[in-house]
Amino acid sequence: MADAPVWSDHVQAVLARAGLKRGGARQRVIELLAREPCALSAVEIEDALRAEGKPTGRASIYRVLDLLVDHGLVERVAVGPGQARFERMHPSGEHHHHLVCDQCGRLVAFDDPALEQAIGDLSERLGVRVEHHDVVLRGACERCE
Amino acid sequence: MADAPVWSDHVQAVLARAGLKRGGARQRVIELLAREPCALSAVEIEDALRAEGKPTGRASIYRVLDLLVDHGLVERVAVGPGQARFERMHPSGEHHHHLVCDQCGRLVAFDDPALEQAIGDLSERLGVRVEHHDVVLRGACERCE
DNA sequence: CCACAAATGAGACTGAGTCTCGGAGTTATT
DNA sequence: AATAACTCCGAGACTCAGTCTCATTTGTGG
Ligand SMILES: [Zn+2]
Ligand SMILES: [Zn+2]
Ligand SMILES: [Zn+2]
Ligand SMILES: [Zn+2]
């Protein structure tokens, strides 16, 4: 996970540039996400922080996540109904998508240039400005097949 | 909307083949979805049915939607966090995806062969079985741009 | 028509996410 | 270091889509 510190620094830089003060809750959520390569739910974040002896208010967690999403630092992944997930987003635009296994619920990350290409082309074809795209596949993962 | 009756008939056929009895609530939900070309939320369905003088229990609506999704007759569209949407699904596999306008919230439907192709190829490349794919774009629609 | 299973609906319940507001933490200025 | 002006934080009440239960109704095969 050699890139985690880079992301962390980038986050600090963006937030500082935005004129925001620092704070404990925000710091804790950022550190946790920096450590985690794939999507966490808000509840998992709350539990993880409590488990490592850093209990953090739910309102703060959602506030921080919203802030990070607004600044393009974190992506909100709608992996299914009922619970949003969050994962760090690289400034380079580098990202991946997910397959959710219907059997075991496991998340499998993947990326695919052809898919990105097709989505990129759509913007023009539809005459709209596409800011963001969510792609979630459902099926059976390697292990469950 | 020349194809709406066809979908309706297909639904009836599939459910009859599955040995299910008919019932008022199910009939009402199917008729409403047959009339509607794009994604409705469960709450919108509940309200629409009440508005046309056919109030229907919430539990029944969710039951019917689950049943239709299980039989591949309706697609659950996760257009955002907090509220699932449902739209009819054609037996031919013909379908579309959506762009959600960040400004006005409007849904824009589109389809794209290159996108479908890319997703189809993924199945093999990843070594998984892909049953279903959700693609949601976010941005500004033609009207809001 | 009858018996029985399937379908329905009122309303209690769950749980992710939001909101509020008083108090704690941060920073610029002196 | 003290002050002041701000931002950030968190406990817990609240909202609301979605689930569950169970008594009642309805559809259907015989
Ligand atoms: Zn991921
Ligand atoms: Zn992508
Ligand atoms: Zn649609
Ligand atoms: Zn598709």
| Average pLDDT of the residues in A2-10 | 77
Say if residue A1's pLDDT is above 60.
Answer: no
What pLDDT sits at residue A68? 97
Residue A121 corresponds to which tokens in the numbers above?
């082309």
Q: Residue B51, class by beta-carbon neighbours within 10 Å (0-12 exposed, 13-18 middle, 19+ buried)?
A: exposed
Do A1-91 and A96-145 show the same overall fold?
no
Contact flag, residue B25 CB and nucleic strand C, below 7 A: yes
Delimit the domains of chain B by residue range. Answer: 1-91, 96-145
Instruction: Summarize the confidence of residues B125-145 as an average pLDDT.
Output: 88
Q: What are phi and psi of A76, to 5 degrees?
A: -90, 115
- The spacing between the Cα labelled CA in A131 and the C1' in D7, in angstroms, equals 30
- Mapped onto helix, strand or coil, the DSSP state of residue A31 is helix
Among partner residues A102, A122, A136, which is closest to B134 by beta-carbon distance? Answer: A136
Burial class (CB in 10 A: 0-12, 13-18, 19+), A26: buried
pLDDT, one tens digit per residue, over A11-54 is: 999 999 999 999 999 999 999 999 998 999 999 999 999 999 99
The shortest CB-CB distance from B127 to any of A76, A126, A142 is to A142
Q: Are B119 and A114 in contact, with CB atoms under 8 Å apart? A: no
Q: What percent of chain B has pLDDT over 90?
A: 72
CA of residue A102 to C1' of nucleotide D26, angstroms: 35
Identify which of B63, B3, B2, B79 has the alpha carbon closest to the alpha carbon of residue B28. B63
Has residue B143 got a pLDDT over 90?
no
Q: Are A85 and A40 in contact (CB under 8 A)?
A: yes
Contact B34, B8 (CB under 8 A): yes
pLDDT in tens, A60-69: 999 999 999 9
**Domain at B96-145, CATH homologous superfamily:** Ferric-uptake regulator, C-terminal dimerisarion domain (3.30.1490.190)
Q: Check CB contact under 8 Å for B135 and A133.
A: yes
Cβ distance B110 to A122 less than 8 Å, yes or no, reads yes
Could you please state the CATH topology (level 3) that the domain comprising B1-91 is classified under: Arc Repressor Mutant, subunit A (1.10.10)
pLDDT on residue B82: 80
Its pTM stands at 0.88
